[in-house]
Amino acid sequence: MKIALFNLGCSKNIVDGNKMLGFLQEQGCTVVDDAAAAEVLLVNTCTFIESATKEAIDTIFAAAGVAHEEHKTLIVAGCFSQRYREEIAQEFPEVDLWLGVDDWEEGLRNYFSLHRPVSGYTRRLEEPLHSQYLKISEGCSHRCSFCIIPHIRGSFRSFSPDDLLAEAKWLESQGVRECIVVSQDTSFYGRDHHSSLAVFLERLVRETSFPMIRMMYLHPAFVDADLLALVAREERLCSYFDIPLQHISDSILSQMGRRPGEAGIYEVIQKIRDTVPDAVIRSSFILGYPGETEEDFEKLCDFIRWARLDKVGVFPYSPEEGTRAAEAEPKVPVEVAQERCEILMNIQRDISREKQEERVGKTLPVLIDRISDSPDYLFEGRTMGDAPEVDGRVFILSGDGEVGQIVPATIIDCDDYDLFATL
């Protein structure tokens, strides 16, 4: 049986989709990239925000057309399926099987009468093979007013550290050089079992030899002293802190159901800077949340100027069906939210450029991700301060190296977000 996967959404969901493929390969199925050559089409969906829901629907429609015309089996999995399958199944009669986020293995076994036991870790690895995600938990126990994830994925539950270490060792055996630790709330890991993220990371460092271990999706309320001390002393742990703060105004944070408040956020950023002097801090913010005043926005601008974060993403508020925030008042006009995004990014762009210019002339370790498509460069890579997909790149003009290597690169120029180097 030949299967083609349409994998949508965030890194966590991509891992889930690839685990489904790995399971099916264990059962004797063949994975193909060309949908025309497949007998089964598997759409792994996202529904985190409105645009993701639209993408899921569009992809299902497209796959349904192919499945109907060419008599293929169509399976829909992931967050969209979990959230809407009961109410939308009649609109997609071409879909043969709807799978939830927790029952996909049982569903696949029952539908295809699959009985082989699973041996080890067989998930499909994304390109580039040397950089892979390690998903360490499922769900989220925070009830942020704008987020639907707890309703879809359930409450937070940590995966077994022993199982995770075994998976990490398998990734290492496949040639992975950068292990990216992810979940809906990475910094909360272990707290549901009287442990902590720091305890797990210490084992990960001790029991593997990944030259780069990166954390993403840290909640500011759980970035504690133990975690900071561990990052400060372990050079294989990237001094990279991806902490979605969402806002700085106490009024907005309270309405969002976020903690800590303004004073606590200032304290967390200062502790990171004091404990890990070379820290790279990335964050994201929502602009135009219901009730956001000009004063709230100015507080956020002042914070950005003070914090001098290394990487920032901003998003206009998008009301999501089923969340408390969707009913909140007063609404902020879309054009006002967009204008505030532009103003904030203009402030951050100047900060980012200054930080980039500080790197020019330095020699930094760079992970080579790929041979460049541009004739102007040999390779493209990233520093320890740059995560894949969301951050800038290092364009390498000359020198010897191979994809997957970590090499010393001399930074010779920069723009607002990218670096240019020679080996």
Q: Which architecture characterizes domain 131-358 according to CATH? A: Alpha-Beta Horseshoe (3.80)
What is the overall mean pLDDT for the chain? 96
Average pLDDT over residues 348-373: 98
22 vs 124: CA distance, rounded Å: 5
- The pLDDT, as a whole number, for residue 282 is 98
Q: Residue 55: which pLDDT band, with cuts at 50, 70 and 90?
A: very high
The pLDDT tens digits for 147-195 are: 999 999 999 999 999 999 999 999 999 999 999 999 999 999 999 999 9
- Residue 121's pLDDT is what? 75
131-358 and 360-422 have identical folds = no
Model pLDDT, residue 117: 86
Q: Which residues define the annotated binding site?
A: 10, 46, 79, 140, 144, 147
Where are the domains positioned within the chain?
2-112, 131-358, 360-422
List the binding residues for [4Fe-4S] cluster.
10, 46, 79, 140, 144, 147
Please report, rounded to a whole number, the percentage of residues in the chain having pLDDT higher than 70. 100
Full-model pTM: 0.95
What pLDDT is attached to residue 118? 81
pLDDT, tens digit (0-9, with 9 covering 90-100), for 280-310: 999 999 999 999 999 999 999 999 999 999 9
Q: What is the CA radius of gyration of the chain?
A: 22
CATH of 2-112 given 3.30.479.10, 3.40.50.12160, 3.40.50.2300, 3.30.70.260 = 3.40.50.12160
Angle ∠(209,405,403) on CA atoms, nearest 5: 130
Residue range 360-422, CATH number: 2.40.50.140
Q: What is the reported pLDDT for 298?
A: 99
Model confidence over 57-116: pLDDT tens digits? 999 999 999 999 999 999 999 999 999 999 899 999 999 999 999 999 999 999 999 998
Cβ neighbours of 278 (radius 10 Å): 11
The DSSP string of 153-177 is: H-S-EEPPHHHHHHHHHHHHHTT--
Rounded to an integer, what distance in angstroms lies between the CA atom of residue 364 and that of residue 362? 6
Mean predicted confidence (pLDDT) in 36-41: 96
